[in-house]
Amino acid sequence: MFESIYNSVMRFSRRREAPYYLSLLSFVESFILPFPPPDVMLAPMSLARPERAMRFAAITLLFSVLGGLVGYMIGAFLFDLAEPYIISWGYQARFEVVTTWFEQWGFWAVLVAGFSPVPYKLFTIAAGVLNLALIPFVLASILGRGARFFLLAWCLARYGPAIEPKLMRYIEYIGWTVVGLLSLAIAIYYF
């Protein structure tokens, strides 16, 4: 099962239009809540075409920062419309933590958020709500997101082709282990 999913993802990653989808995902992920991070496309694309990995990272960074600016504007001018979605999708507590981080660390909070797995979209919207200076926001986004995307692309371009045969040998075990761990985490969270 997981081998066929993996093969489908890798085939899609080699398609000519894949960079356009990467651009779109990178853009909307920065301000729309239910979208996954662009790493889910950047990783297989970098693995499928290692010679273009840095280009894919640059595309991801550019469109992520542009989307971050949209998130900033939503926070600055449309937060009353966005807030019900933040609450209904279960992001309210995280959003409150993010705003506290901004009040304490500002630029550094964006920098860390750009690199970390914390939903970047919460930081972009919170930056606008709290009127964080725009230039430091953009610089922190470029540094944090850039470090994350270029490091991922470089690692996969450099080490991915050597790891892929081993990955294919154990992909079913890895896939079912991840499913089991996620199920366990969900069960612990709800019970």
Residue 21 counted as domain residue: yes
- pLDDT higher than threshold 90 for residue 39: no
- Torsion over CA: 27, 29, 30, 33 (sign): positive
Q: CB 139: neighbour CB atoms within 10 A?
A: 15
Domain count across the chain: 1
pLDDT digits 0-9 by tens, 54-98: 999 999 999 999 999 999 999 889 888 878 887 887 778 877 877
Task: Look at residue 111 in the predicted model and tell me its pLDDT.
Answer: 74
How far lies 133's CA from each of 3, 114, 124, in Å?
47, 16, 12
Between CA 150 and CA 87 the distance in angstroms is: 33
Task: Look at residue 119 in the predicted model and tell me its pLDDT.
Answer: 78
Residue 25 counted as domain residue: yes
Q: Which residues contact 108 (CB under 8 A, 6 or more apart)?
A: 140
Residue 22 counted as domain residue: yes
Mean pLDDT score, 30-53: 84
Enclosing domain of residue 7: 2-160
**For the chain, how many residues are written?**
191
pLDDT digits 0-9 by tens, 153-185: 998 888 877 776 766 666 666 667 766 777 777
Residue 41 counted as domain residue: yes
Between CA 167 and CA 175 the distance in angstroms is: 10
Q: What is the pTM of this model?
A: 0.76
Tokens 């089991």 correspond to 180
Residue 65 counted as domain residue: yes
Residue 156 counted as domain residue: yes
